[in-house]
């Protein structure tokens, strides 16, 4: 396969296949300056998938998403839900570090989209939590993070998108950190909205539906929202 021709989103068989392609990808010039590509990591069956902007210095060194200061804040915010990073899936819009942490260019975002799209298809999260402006704009090009953060948006295939400020913004501004804290505790509501919308869809199609059992745990205390 030529470097420019990534398989279509529907052609990837596994997250590992995506990760190994990403690690040697040369579809854009970010590959020339990266140390390690950062495909993403976490639960293979996540209710929530977090999408950040792109790897920073620490992520580029370690090949893992959100392992620097922004990552520490992300873990602190997840604990409010409460969740751990291994309960969710974490990735980025671009999988290689933009030099000097600049914004990824539209061409770079476009070159990396087949990987993110394939990850979404394979993981089928109930909720995509976008972290920051670039991530939200990848899914909703006209949306403004300042208007939409902490609100429930419907994307395709019944997936709910829940926009959040980027944790790095929370490190710079107390106001945005407080907004992040308030929004993170609302994440279960986004998962409930996703369960409700899939329940509506399956009732319309006449299927059996057990999402309400999932919601209240049914008789099994081990089953929870996440």
Which spans of this chain sit near ligand URA (rule: CB under 6 A)?
A: 52-56, 59, 65-66, 70, 92, 168
Looking at the Cβ atoms of 59 and 214, the one nearer to ligand URA is: 59
Looking at the Cβ atoms of 54 and 125, the one nearer to ligand URA is: 54
Smallest gap from residue 73 Cβ to ligand URA (A): 10
Smallest Cα–Cα separation from 183: which of 165, 201, 159, 209? 165
Smallest gap from residue 101 Cβ to ligand URA (A): 8
Smallest gap from residue 70 Cβ to ligand URA (A): 4
Smallest Cα–Cα separation from 19: which of 35, 43, 38? 38
Looking at the Cβ atoms of 173 and 203, the one nearer to ligand URA is: 173
Q: Which residue is nearest to ligand URA (CB)?
A: 52
Instruction: For residue 17, report the phi and psi dihedrals to the nearest 5 degrees.
Output: -65, -40
Looking at the Cβ atoms of 101 and 224, the one nearer to ligand URA is: 101
Smallest gap from residue 59 Cβ to ligand URA (A): 4
Q: Which residue has the tokens 């993981």?
A: 123
Looking at the Cβ atoms of 62 and 211, the one nearer to ligand URA is: 62
- Neighbouring-strand partners of residue 130: 51, 163
Looking at the Cβ atoms of 53 and 183, the one nearer to ligand URA is: 53
Smallest gap from residue 64 Cβ to ligand URA (A): 8
């Amino acid at each position: 396969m030529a470097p420019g021709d990534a398989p279509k989103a529907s052609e990837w068989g596994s997250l590992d296949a995506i990760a190994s392609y990403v690690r040697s990808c040369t579809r854009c010039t970010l590959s020339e300056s990266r140390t390690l590509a950062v495909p993403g990591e976490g639960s293979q069956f996540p209710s929530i998938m977090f999408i950040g902007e792109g790897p920073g210095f620490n992520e580029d060194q370690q090949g893992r998403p959100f392992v620097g200061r922004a990552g520490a804040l992300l873990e602190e915010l997840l604990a409010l839900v409460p969740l751990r990073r291994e309960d969710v899936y974490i990735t980025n819009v671009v999988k290689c570090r933009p030099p000097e942490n600049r914004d990824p260019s539209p061409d770079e975002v476009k070159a990396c989209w087949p990987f993110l799209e394939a990850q979404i298809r394979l993981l089928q999260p109930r909720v995509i939590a976008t972290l920051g402006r670039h991530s939200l704009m990848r899914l909703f090009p006209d949306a403004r993070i300042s208007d939409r953060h902490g609100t429930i948006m419907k994307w395709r295939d019944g997936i709910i998108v829940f926009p959040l400020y980027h944790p790095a913004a929370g490190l710079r501004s107390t106001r945005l950190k407080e907004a992040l804290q308030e929004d993170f505790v609302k994440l279960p509501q986004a998962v409930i909205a996703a369960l409700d919308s899939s329940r509506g869809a399956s009732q319309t199609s006449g299927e059996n539906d057990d999402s309400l059992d999932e919601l209240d745990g049914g008789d099994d205390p081990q089953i929870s929202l996440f």
